């Protein structure tokens, strides 16, 4: 039995070497004998080559890893933990810190009156205040507007971390802010 398995493996190996060698020789023969003066376009502009090229270009480019989200929250904040889970579920690495003095992070974030929420996060050069959906954070990082960050003021009921997991955000706005002032609606839900 062992000899039969060993024989089969050798046969498969030899067949693989033969096929690889044949393919290599065929390419060399095509390059040097069939069309020695052909341009690469003349050899590749065939229906078969076009099909292979189209198939290989339909692959999605690899996306870069998302940046770290650093969150500051109260140790007893359950909705903050749910928002952190939402961010992780959407591909963000998250580092959470419990704090008894969240105001220092809201000052660092350049939040103004009426813009605060239960937790403050930082990602890249931006501040994220409250229950901002991960898709808005991704859009923010992609578009790179000249703002301090995004906020979902208060604790909107149908926002990530406040609503049941997997619910669509609804009934509130995500606000862009700069230097303590709201500058516009980033997304309306």
Between the alpha carbon of residue 137 and those of residues 15, 25, 108, 169, the distances in Å are 53, 53, 18, 14
Q: What is the model's pLDDT at position 54?
A: 52
Secondary structure (DSSP) of 37-86: T--HHHHH-SHHHHHHHHHHHTSPPPPPPPPPEEEEE-TT-HHHHHHHHH
Nearest to 115 by CA among 155, 152, 156: 152
Q: Which of 2-11, 41-50, 134-143, 147-156 is predicted with the least confidence, judged by mean pLDDT?
A: 2-11
- The 10s digit of each residue's pLDDT in 92-148 is 999 999 999 999 999 999 999 999 999 999 999 999 999 999 999 999 999 999 999
What share of the chain has pLDDT > 70, as a percent?
67
Q: Is the pLDDT of residue 80 over 80?
A: yes
Q: What is the model's pLDDT at position 27?
A: 46
Nearest to 92 by CA among 115, 62, 124: 124
C-alpha–C-alpha distance, residues 81 and 131, integer Å: 11
Q: Which residues pair with 126 in a beta bridge?
A: 123
- The 10s digit of each residue's pLDDT in 11-35 is 444 434 344 443 433 343 344 444 4
Please state at what angle helix 134-143 crosses helix 78-89, rounded to 10 degrees. 60
DSSP annotation of 117 reads: -
Q: Is the pLDDT of residue 89 over 50?
A: yes
C-alpha–C-alpha distance, residues 175 and 186, integer Å: 5
User: Across all residues in the chain, what is the average pLDDT?
Assistant: 81
């Amino acid at each position: 039995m062992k000899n039969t398995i060993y024989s089969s493996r050798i046969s498969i190996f030899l067949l693989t070497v033969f096929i690889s060698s044949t393919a290599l020789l065929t390419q060399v023969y095509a390059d040097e004998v069939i069309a020695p003066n052909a341009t690469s376009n003349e050899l590749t502009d065939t229906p078969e080559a076009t099909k292979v090229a189209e198939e290989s270009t339909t692959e999605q480019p690899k996306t870069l890893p998302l940046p770290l989200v650093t969150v500051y929250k109260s140790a007893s904040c359950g909705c903050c933990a749910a928002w952190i889970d939402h961010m992780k579920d959407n591909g963000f690495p998250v580092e959470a810190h419990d704090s008894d003095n969240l105001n220092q992070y809201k000052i660092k974030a350049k939040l103004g009156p009426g813009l605060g929420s239960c937790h403050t996060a930082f990602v890249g050069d931006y501040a994220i205040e409250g229950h901002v959906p991960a898709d808005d954070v991704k859009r923010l990082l992609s578009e790179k507007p000249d703002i301090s960050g995004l906020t979902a003021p208060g604790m909107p009921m149908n926002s990530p971390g406040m609503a049941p997991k997997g619910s669509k955000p609804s009934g509130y706005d995500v606000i862009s802010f700069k230097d303590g002032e709201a500058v516009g609606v980033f997304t309306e839900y």
